[in-house]
Structure 1
Amino acid sequence: MPASETTPLLENGNGVPVHRPFSQRLVAAIKGEGEPGWIASYRHFLFGSWFNILLLFVPLSVISHFLKWDAAYRFSFSFLAIMPLAKLLGEATEQLSTKLGQTLSGLLNASFGNAVEIIVGIAALLQGELRIVQTSMLGSILSNILLVLGCSFLAGGIRYNESTFKATGAQTASSLMTLSCITLVIPAAYHSAQTRNPSPSGYAHLLETLRDPQVTLPELSEGGMSGLLTLSRGTALLLLVVYILYLFFQLKTHADYFKAEEEDEPTEARMNMVAAGSALLLVTVVTSFCADYLVASIEEVAVRYHIPKAFIGLILLPIVANAAEHVTSVWMAMKNKMELTIGICVGSSIQIAAFVVPLLVIVGWIADRELTLFFADFETITLFISVMLVSLLIQDGKSNYMEGVMLITLYLIIALAFWVSD
């Protein structure tokens, strides 16, 4: 056998040099020395819990969607299908964390969780549904930093009296989240200044507006809209640069700010790296399809049960789209892995605010769609107070169930406000 087709010489039990075939070396490199095999990995992944029996609803979700069954069936089947997929996503992430570490695995989970938002956002943007893009992005941020983080703190606080995490890393993340929030306040302030200073010819319309509330204030002038687009696109480019620098800061230069303390009993590896990674990718793709089917059925269900559209766009859809991410975060909190929980919740929100939204603005620029960073005043204020509360609660590097209750309460109040806003 040619030397090029063999590995370096190894020794058998008698000390005699032997050759190992190239195929064995390739399998060992893919699987990893000392890691479980592919069959054992996927057996644990698919049959490790009785909860996975709900995977039967995945094909039912697909069938009901393409056969155009009643919206109630499509909604129920898709919702039940997402639940076991969410748990599997958490299992794959936990197995990856045994090798990659909690910081990188949390970033990976947040990235896979936001892939659905990027795909849906670009699709809606190209169809000219700019308002849907904005409300879904805002809803995803609020869902992550209030509902998911609140449920995680609550679940972790019930099991442990107090959980701790690296305060420095959490404060850095919350500061970037605050910066991203401020970049939404500035376009709102610009829009407000432009529309509240009408030209002399517009004062008659303003007086008419005061007499008749049904008459709306004048829209931005052509110059004002051009300025808003320039402000939004310039800000988007700067945010993308800041986000790239944040990744370098988080993973390279200051990685110790985000790493958890070493555990006394590390998690046992039940899957090899490639199997866990491929399972994470596969489950994410299947979950995105089920989420799309669920979203497609929601509007019909909403009309039948008289659910406001504002509530659907900013509250219901983000919960459904991020269901896998939500369960993963709570699951990690119950295992007292708060660094991973913070990485998923706050990290996902940062990705949306500092990467996904600016990316969509740039894509809109390329596709000649006038997507801006201007949100309605009520939505901007809601986001600002939410970020402020989260920053206050995580600055000490500790969490308990009462902090979780506070975050969930604020989210419920916001949900109530959107319920009556339509």
Structure 2
Amino acid sequence: MSASSETTPLLPTQNGNGNPHSPSFNHRVVTFFKAEGQPSWLSSYRFFFFGSWLNVLLVFIPLSFLAEHLQWDAAFRFGFSFVAIMPLAALLGTATDQMSLKLGQTLSGLLNASFGNAVEIIVGVAALLQNELRIVQTSMLGSILSNLLLVLGCSFFAGGLKYTESSFDETAAQASSSLMTLACITLVIPAAYHSAQSHSGNTTALANSIANAVVDGTDLDSVSERGLLLISRGTALLLLVVYIGYLLFQLKTHAHLFADEENEEVEEQKMNIPAAASALLLVTVMTSFCADYLVASIEEVATRYGISKPFIGVILLPIVANAAEHVTSVWMARKNKMALTIGICVGSSIQISALVVPLLVIIGWITGHNLTLFFSNFETIVLFVSVLLVQFLIQDGKSNYMEGMMLMTLYLVIAISFWVSN
């Protein structure tokens, strides 16, 4: 369709007063489907579905549906859903970015905060509603570790191979890592409470807890269990308040600390707002189905193929959710946009720990699933040392390839540990 045909009515019309300049029905329809100065719906969806080579993996969505409804082997159900979520995660990011271009800094920041980890939220809710509380916990822990160690490590390494040293604002980085440290400490407190109550209680229950790897607090007596739930739910509400404060700090009061002014580029809008919103809704629904199939197949895959559930939750599931972020972060590091890289990696970890995890605890509270912030001692220690290493490495405001190697090495050590854990 030519530009003239989009803006000119096919037939002249008049309103009740005989005004020939009254907009025709055709013109009103065209205006709805293509707002002034924005891309048409056709070009918007063409960019959305054909703008990345990763979208060829969308073929695994119908395969995932077939595998689930025809009850194929668990490996096919898990594998097809696993691969299908990768392009869906990238498309969620694309739709969110396109919507944020016209919404202003504050609204775009809120939008990115809401949908920046949409895949993690969808997978977490799907696992929560199926009462797979361990999958919820390990997948959230894995997302934090993946962003802090693997994605940030690869970015530092990739940027360090091109530039001897890259720099970023240490004040903004320290503010982000400090909030990450706070979120980590809030996970240590429930573990400490559980340990204290276990040792003061029945030693037989404690032994059974260790043998069966109970990490939801059900090995405690009813009073202590209620105390653990109270600590977790109260902490979740407080973390949400702190996260809102962090958004204000980042978007309003101290926005200059997080701006990458030297490398700032104006991105061209490829999708109009209605098209981006409808695409966001469509992809969210598709992701929820694939996530539900994925979670439902985990138990059978773990049993039949001898893969530990903690390894699936901590290592494999975050690969799905963070695939698009991983590529973007490394690409930004190669362009020496280290402030954006820090924002992607550390910022995403903060969203998981201070927004997504508390949100899932509250959703569990509402739906009658007693999800707590109590992780096993091993998982709590792993998270603590990971945050500690990141804190040490970014406090000078500089990065190089050696720091990237350190982060990736710790991640591989953790991956080996979860591979052999039960």
- Same fold? TM cut 0.5: yes
Aligned counterpart, 2:345:
345
Identity of aligned residues (%): 70
Give 1:153 shift: 2.9
Q: Deviations over 1:173-217 (max 9, x none)?
A: 11111111111111222222222335xxx58x69x97xxx97999
AA paired with 2:75?
A
Give 1:79 shift: 3.9
Give 1:353 shift: 1.6
AA paired with 1:359?
L
Distance change in 2, residues 1:63/1:175 (3 Å): same
- 1:168 paired with 2:171, answer yes
Give 1:380 shift: 0.8
Counterparts of 2:24 and 2:339, CA distance in 1: 42
The one of 175, 189, 192 equivalent to 1:189 is: 192
Give aligned pairs, total: 404
Q: How does 1:170-319 map to 2 (within 5 A)?
A: 170-198=173-201, 219-261=219-261, 263=263, 266-319=266-319
AA paired with 1:419?
W
Distance change in 2, residues 1:151/1:289 (3 Å): farther
Distance change in 2, residues 1:298/1:158 (3 Å): farther
Give 1:256 shift: 1.8
Structure 1 SS opposite 2:260: coil
Q: Is the 8 A contact 2:298 2:309 kept in 1?
A: no
Q: TM-score, normalised on structure 2? A: 0.79
The one of 130, 133, 136 equivalent to 1:133 is: 136
Aligned counterpart, 1:66:
69
Distance change in 2, residues 1:290/1:333 (3 Å): farther
Structure 2 SS opposite 1:396: coil
Q: Deviations over 1:77-99 (max 9, x none)?
A: 33443444444445445545655
Counterparts of 2:159 and 2:334, CA distance in 1: 5
Aligned counterpart, 1:39:
42
Counterparts of 2:45 and 2:315, CA distance in 1: 35
Q: Which moved more, 1:156-165 or 1:252-261?
A: 156-165
AA paired with 2:71?
K
- 1:363 paired with 2:366, answer no
Counterparts of 1:179 and 1:38, CA distance in 2: 44
The one of 60, 77, 80 equivalent to 2:80 is: 77
Aligned counterpart, 1:11:
none
**Which sections of structure 2, spanning at least 5 residues, go unmatched?**
1-13
AA paired with 2:365?
W
Q: Deviations over 1:37-67 (max 9, x none)?
A: 2222222332334553333333223222222
Q: Is the 8 A contact 2:89 2:119 kept in 1?
A: no
AA paired with 1:365?
W
Counterparts of 2:254 and 2:16, CA distance in 1: 44
Distance change in 2, residues 1:91/1:76 (3 Å): same
Q: Is the 8 A contact 1:106 1:343 kept in 2?
A: no
Q: Deviations over 1:271-328 (max 9, x none)?
A: 3344344434433443443344344444433333321222122222232344344444
Counterparts of 2:148 and 2:16, CA distance in 1: 57
Q: Is the 8 A contact 2:198 2:220 kept in 1?
A: yes
Q: Which moved more, 1:102-111 or 1:136-145?
A: 102-111
